[in-house]
Amino acid sequence: MSDEANSGGGKMVSEDTVAVLLMAMGSVSITKAQFNIMSSLDGTRTASSFEHAFRPITKKAKELKARVDNGETFEAVAPAKKRSGAVEGATPPTTPKKPKGTPKATPKATPKSRGKKGKVAAEAPPTNDFEKGVEFDKDIDLDFGLKKEELEDELI
């Protein structure tokens, strides 16, 4: 459980909330046996570290118990205001729905057929055409206007 709580996966409550729970249970103190249980469930923290962490909480629980015993009442926070223009207790307006089977106002155009894509033939890897023994067509005009015979003379 400690991994979940330490990693942010668990729900966190304030010290005041825990102090109120202690007060509500009728005991504003925690026993050594209860700290041992906390340590065992946590798996990483010692009972002493829990005792140290709970000192301000038990102190607050004792203060709250004294205040309640003296007749003090606590008022809850009022809920947030509703959106402007909304009447309290009224339901928000709804958009009327069209009955099923009613045709839409603008029918969609049917998409054009794009034809089937053929498989692209795998291209041969590039080769070095300037190696000796490479044959060229006679009529191909190569770079710089050289013909096959002129290029062969240059390569030899």
First to last CA, the chain: 81
DSSP structural state of residue 19? H
Band of pLDDT at residue 81, cut at 50, 70 and 90: confident
Which residue is associated with the tokens 């206007």?
Answer: 145
Tokens read off for 102: 């009613």
Q: What is the pLDDT of residues 53-80, one digit of tens each?
A: 999 999 999 999 999 999 999 999 989 8
Q: What is the pLDDT of residues 30-50, one digit of tens each?
A: 999 999 999 999 999 999 999
Instruction: Tell me the C-alpha to C-alpha distance, in Å, between residue 113 and each of 33, 110, 118.
Output: 77, 9, 15
Q: Give the separation between CA 109 and CA 112, rounded to whole angstroms.
A: 9
Whole-number pLDDT of residue 125: 65
Q: Give the separation between CA 69 and CA 26, rounded to whole angstroms.
A: 12
Give the pTM: 0.46
